[in-house]
Amino acid sequence: MASEKRNGYKNRTLPDIQCVLELAKLESKDLKPCVQCLFFSGQLENDSFKLLELDEPVLQALQSGKKVEIRGDPSENAVLVTDSATYELKEAETSNSMLMLPKLTFGPDLHGDGNTEIINREVTAVVHNYYELRPIKPKLKKLRALLMENPYRGKECEGDEQDTYQNHTFAELQSTVQASDQEIKAGLAKINACEIQGFWRLLDLEYSATVLYHIVQLCEERNWFIEGLNMEECCEVLSELFPREVVEHMVRSHSKHDDSCMETDNSSNIFYLSEDKICKHFAEMCLRHSGKFNLSDFLKAWQESVPHDMKTSFSQIQGMALIDRDSNPEVIWYYNVDDLPEDINERFEVLFDEKKRWSLEEITPYVRDLTDDKTDVGALLTKFARASTQNGIKMFSSRKTS
């Protein structure tokens, strides 16, 4: 039997319950003998609870004691992040009343026979809304914008009149960028940021070119392109010129990563520089500040700028430069996907502003980063572009009629 008196409640008695059942024309023999009487709690806490709908990965993260955080800014929508993923938080309202019960027994756990049992159950809150989670791609544009404020131009420039002292530790980035830690790390890697004395910095382009130039010189001198670069030795030789972190960063970010032999050689400090990455860097140096460049002049200048034995190819500069083959002479200009908006609609608008018609091959490097598991490049184009055939080639243009 239930406790006779609990503070504040008028307990239900067996006759009370049976009387109601009779009036309701329900037969007690059809029901399990256990009755749960619902009461409002003495302290209703309707506003102190928030309900959050959990995705399986979030639930798992919580249950394994991992960090789950809500990050918000007055100017941005709140997001929830786990170690590896970002979710948008959306409030959902329902006209139904949800009564919250810390204790309740469900049918299968109740005895089917025996004496009638009366149990009091407390409703501690009545809730009409909850928060839903929707996985989103994190907005990492801010990361680049933040680090661009004060690029690293070398240790002798630290503290000079151009230094704004606006540098950021990882913890500061976590609190500013609405993305999970893993996504922030991936974002930093993508924009090629380097950790220097605890701060995440972008290397000034001219400066990184100087560092790379020295590394390349050293490689040619010691035949490291073939034999592999010895990191220890490389840092040692260049230590008077550049901080170790910077040299190491430049070597790593211009090495072959997909190479399986990388893993084993990493421990022995041997790195193989990537032809594609080095060539891309030199192309960027040529194009970055030069506006439209005569294509054949560029190709010649570019090939001459890269180390001997390296071969330049168009595939190396995909997503970094555009070529107009219809103009006379043919021209190339700097156009980097990293400078374009993250928002899909805005991205397509900017792309079609730059160039009215794109072939699939041309546009792919400029939208590939917007794809996810569900949407590939083809699906994106179906949704955001208009396809037409020109001289037998499928071309994509803006859906907007101009």
Site for another protein in 35-74 (CB under 8 A): 35-44, 48-56, 59, 62-73
Nearer to another protein, 67 or 383 (CB): 67
With contacts defined by CB under 8 A, name the span among 173-181, 260-268, 300-308, 333-341 that binds another protein. 173-181
- Token readout for 363 is 């546009």
Residue type, 107: G
Which pairs count as long-range contacts for 252-258, CB under 8 Å and 24+ apart, including other chains?
A: 253/192, 253/277, 254/212, 254/215, 254/278, 254/281, 255/229
Nearer to another protein, 30 or 221 (CB): 30
| From 175, 266, 290, 296, residue interacting with another protein (rule: CB under 8 A) | 175
With contacts defined by CB under 8 A, name the span among 28-36, 223-231, 247-255, 301-309 that binds another protein. 28-36
With H, G, I as helix, E, B as strand and everything else as coil, classify residue 325.
coil
Q: Which of residues 138-167 bind another protein (CB under 8 A)?
A: none
| From 9, 207, 213, 333, residue interacting with another protein (rule: CB under 8 A) | 9
Task: Yes or no: say if 265 and 271 are a contact pair by the CB < 8 Å rule.
Answer: yes
| From 96, 115, 164, 402, residue interacting with another protein (rule: CB under 8 A) | 96
Residue type, 252: R
Backbone phi and psi for residue 120, each to the nearest 5 degrees, phi listed first: -85, 135
10: how many CB neighbours lie within 10 A of its CB?
9
* Residue of 230, 311, 319, 235 whose CA lies nearest to 274: 311
With contacts defined by CB under 8 A, name the span among 4-12, 160-168, 191-199, 213-221 that binds another protein. 4-12
| From 32, 139, 141, 244, residue interacting with another protein (rule: CB under 8 A) | 32
Task: Yes or no: say if 367 and 347 are a contact pair by the CB < 8 Å rule.
Answer: yes
Q: Which of residues 110-129 bind another protein (CB under 8 A)?
A: 110, 112, 121, 123, 126
Q: Say how far apart CA 95 and CA 332 lie, in whole Å.
A: 59
| From 2, 101, 186, 299, residue interacting with another protein (rule: CB under 8 A) | 101
Task: Yes or no: say if 179 and 81 are a contact pair by the CB < 8 Å rule.
Answer: yes
Cα separations in angstroms, 120 against 103, 153, 268, 285, 381: 9, 71, 69, 76, 60
Nearer to another protein, 165 or 309 (CB): 165
| From 4, 15, 30, 353, residue interacting with another protein (rule: CB under 8 A) | 30
* Cβ at position 14, least distance to another protein in Å: 11
Q: Which of residues 177-206 bind another protein (CB under 8 A)?
A: 178
